[in-house]
Amino acid sequence: MQNHKESNNWFTSLIGFFYQFGIGCNINKNKAKELYFLALNNETEKDFLNENFDKLHLIENVDTLKNENIIIGKYLLSLFYYKDIILDVEGFKYNQNKKNIKNDDQNEIIKLLKLAKNGDIKAQYNLAICYQNGNGIETNHKKAFKWLLNSVENGNLDAQYNLAIFYMDGIGVQKDEKEAFKWFLKSEQSSYYLDTEDEKENFEKYLKLAISNDSVAQNNLGNCYLSGKGIGKNETKAFGWYLKSANAGFAGYAEGQFNLGYCYENAIGTGKNVIKAFELYLRSAIAGNAKAQNRLGECYTDGIGTKKNKMKAFSWFSQSAENGDADGQFNLGCCYQYGDGVDINETKAFEWYSKSAEKGNTAAQNNLGLCYQYGKGVLINEKKAFKLYLKSASNGNAEAQNNLGYCFKHGKGVTKSKKKSFKWYSISAKNGNTDAQNYIETYNNDDVIKKFKDNILSGINKLYN
């Protein structure tokens, strides 16, 4: 441009490009735009050429050079304003200025597209998911549905479930409950769990209601997948239905929120995330779910997804207990017994243990037995203590099994029995109770020592005889 001041518009498009991307200069997009527009403004240049053509006899094809500058200017100006549309490959709209879309992602999408167009059913499925979630590409539900349908029609059975979801939620296609139900059943044809015909019927009933956005049915469907009742067990699908239930309608379904929180806490069908679990327990607890209120209290007790806070734990245990949850009643009894978040009150501890034990809580039955054995909040009654230990131990509570061994060993509420004592200590030890394990180890060592002593005495007697 400096060497051709009389006709610098021949080069404006290229110099504008340099300014736009900082090639040999600092980036200046305003200057770039200004130069692109100069490339389009040809009137002055045309008049100048007519008057001074004799001075330009050394330059061949003047019109060609001028027109190329105009064409390049138009092209670069178009890219300047509409790059996202012009560089749209199969609707990709790269949006390179977006931080979440990288060049490597775009290259992968292009490879995926080539494979998909060549009939690769996995590539078609993966491309559909990319369009659905905006992975390395702008979200486009219509294209997502198109590629997912192609994948299914070309024989990808694994994509049928996702196609059903698309029809159910109207993703890239008009909502169609009948089509959704059809594809759900097709996707599950080989995974029915035919324990009873009723379970299969229940699954299909829940499925129909869940497709129509019934949050209770969605939660029940999650339960079916989690337990494998009426359908093959599938934790990922259980998580998916709990997710829909938790977020259904304006506020979501409290039971679904609790189950979704449980999935996040225990990495069921998803990655472990205790913070999300806590948030979901909180939503469910505020909505009045007694199980969630208890679990929230446990989160505050143990610092799961939040900071430890005994007073908040006590508050949520209280709400859970008042709403009739057996676990909440047991935990509230523990708070009163040990003074966690509240003053110690053995009488109230006994009362809440009693309520929980009546509902079959084995830990409460065991603790109630301890109350009777040692007179905590009630008069000592070793026979009642023994009965409660037996009930709890028979239902698998390892601590109660250990206590039962103690009762038989020392004759607390029952006739002494060394054999029965050892039996219950052994069962408790196998179930992980460390006190029972220590007892068994000591018992075995004592037995070895006794046999050793007997052998020595027997040897001495034989020697002297």
Contacts of 111 (CB under 8 A, 6+ apart): none
Q: How many structural domains comprise the chain? A: 1
Classify residue 457: in a domain, yes or no: no
Asked if residue 25 is part of any domain, the answer here is yes
What is the predicted pLDDT for the residue at 94? Answer: 45
What pLDDT is attached to residue 190?
73
**Residue 358 in tokens:** 């009546």
Confidence bin at 35 (pLDDT 50/70/90): confident
Write out pLDDT tens, residues 196-209.
Answer: 678 889 999 999 99
Residue 80 lies in a domain: yes
Sign of CA dihedral 381, 382, 383, 385: positive
User: What pLDDT sits at residue 148?
Assistant: 96
Give the model's pLDDT for residue 97. Answer: 45
In a domain, 102, yes or no: no
Cα 287 from Cα 79, distance rounded (Å): 53
Residue 165, both tokens:
């979801």
pLDDT score, position 271: 97
Domain assignment of residue 34, yes or no? yes
Is 112 within the bounds of a domain? no
416 — phi, psi (to 5°)? -60, 140
Residue with tokens 């002055």: 44
pLDDT, tens only, 85-109: 454 555 555 444 445 555 666 678 8
Q: Tell me whether residue 233 is in a domain.
A: no
Query: Quick check: 448 pLDDT over 60?
Result: no
pLDDT bracket for residue 57 (50, 70, 90): very low
Domain that holds residue 9: 5-86
Q: What is the pTM of this model?
A: 0.72
**23 found inside a domain:** yes
